[in-house]
Amino acid sequence: EQILKVHMRRVPLAADIDASVIARGTPGFSGADLANLVNEAALFAARGNKRVVSMVEFEKAKDKIMMGAERRSMVMTEAQKESTAYHEAGHAIIGRLVPEHDPVHKVTIIPRGRALGVTFFLPEGDAISASRQKLESQ
């Protein structure tokens, strides 16, 4: 979180920015990865003619870095969208029901990279070690 804040000093931030939420959602990111995240978020804000960078832009930047750019050229039928939505909802439900599982952060059926959809779980803190039950719940 501290490294992220160093990089965030270079851009104007909206009042809704929560560095701890961003940091928890970027486990394993190096300092360079975090700098890239801030730069991508600033680019999204600039493309949207915004004067400040908000959590929305940070979410878009994180999605792009972690999963790849949106595949807007990929056309999904309504049946494919529905099937993908059920599949991702299943991940979210299981994540909610399994003990010691990280909480659901975001579910999307927007195709990115090789995935048709994805369910994001947000770690509640830095995990240096984990219990057997925690590992099995993942």
- Range 104-119 average pLDDT: 86
pLDDT by residue (tens digit) across 59-110? 999 989 888 888 878 888 999 999 999 999 999 999 888 887 888 888 989 8
Catalytic residue set: 88
Residue pLDDT, tens place only, 9-30: 999 999 999 999 899 888 888 9
Q: Which domains does the chain have, with CATH numbers?
A: 2-67 (1.10.8.60), 78-137 (no CATH)
Confidence (pTM): 0.71
Res. 121: pLDDT tops 90: no
Q: For tokens 């984990």, what's the residue?
A: 130
Q: What token pair was written down for 23?
A: 């940091």
50 pLDDT above the threshold of 90: yes
> Which helix (H) or strand (E) segment is 118 a member of?
strand 118-121
The two tokens of residue 36 are 């890239």
Of 136, 134, 138, 128, give the one whose Cα is nearest residue 28.
128
Band of residue 6 on the pLDDT scale cut at 50, 70, 90: very high
**Is the model's pLDDT at 127 over the cut of 60?**
no
pLDDT at 75: 86
Residue 125 has what pLDDT? 62
**Distance in Å from the first CA to the final CA of the chain:** 24
